[in-house]
Amino acid sequence: MKVWKKNMVAAAVLVTVCAGIYVNWLYTEENTAASLTDTIDVEKVMSDDTLLLSEDMAAIAAGEDVATTATDYFAAVRLSRQQARDNAVNLLQEAMAYSTGEDSAKEAESAMELEQIVQTALSEAQIESLIIAKGYTDCVAYMSGEGISVAVASPEGGLQQEDVAVIADIVMAQSDYGLDAIRVVEVQ
C-alpha cells in the first residue's frame, strides 16, 4: 500500500510540474520578445505628413517624363528618399531575422545601422520643418556621411546670402555638420 501511495504522489507531482511547464509555455508564446518590425513604428519614422503628392507623382515614380515644378521635385525627392530608406530597413530587418546566435556582432551592427537610419530620418525631418517655419515654401534635406544637402524652393527674388546663412544656422544647430559640410541648393 505504501508503494502505491508513493507512486501516486510522484505521478501527481510529475503531472503538476508538466502542467505548469505547459501553461508557462502557452503564456510565454503569446508574450515573446517583440520582433524588430513590431518595435519600430514605421509610420512615425517614415511619415507621409510632410510629403506633398501631386497628380503627376505616379508618373514621376514610374520614371515617365513629366513637366515638373518645384512642388513635384520636392515630392519626388521625398518619395525616392523614403523608398531607399524602406529598402534599407527591410534589408536590415531580414539580416537580423536570419542571423544566428553566433552572429551577435552582425546583429548588433545591423541594429546600430537601423538606429542610424531612424536618427537621420528624424534629423532631416526636423531640419526641413524648421526651414519651412522660417518662411520658405518647401525644402528637402539629405544627410550623408560626407555632409548635408538642403534643396530649398526659390524665394521671391532668389536665394540670397542671408537665406543661406539662416539655413546653415538651422542645419548646424540640428546636426553635427560644420559649415564646410553644408550645401544649399536653390530649386527654381
Which residue type, as a one-letter code, is found at position 96?
M
The three grid cell numbers given for residue 64, joined into one nine-digit string: 515617365
List strands edge to edge, sheet with 148-153: 139-143, 148-153, 182-187
What's the pLDDT at 170?
A: 92
Q: What are the beta bridge partners of residue 100? A: none
Mention the CATH class of domain 33-187: mainly alpha
Q: According to the model, what pLDDT value does residue 111 have?
A: 78
Per-residue pLDDT of the chain in tens (188 residues, 90 and over written 9): 677 888 888 888 888 887 878 877 777 765 554 444 444 444 444 444 434 444 444 444 454 544 456 667 888 888 888 888 888 888 777 777 776 666 677 777 777 888 888 888 888 889 988 998 988 888 899 888 889 999 998 888 888 899 899 999 999 998 888 899 999 988 87
DSSP class of 1: -
Predicted local confidence at residue 67, as pLDDT: 46
- Element (DSSP H or E) covering residue 124: helix 104-133
Report the 10 Å Cβ neighbour count for 95.
Answer: 16
Q: Identify the bridge partners of residue 186 per DSSP, sorted by sequence position.
A: 152
pTM: 0.57
Q: How far apart are CA 63 and CA 68, in angstroms?
A: 12
**Helix (H, G, I), strand (E, B), or coil: what is residue 21?**
helix
Distance of CA 27 to the CA centre of its chain: 31
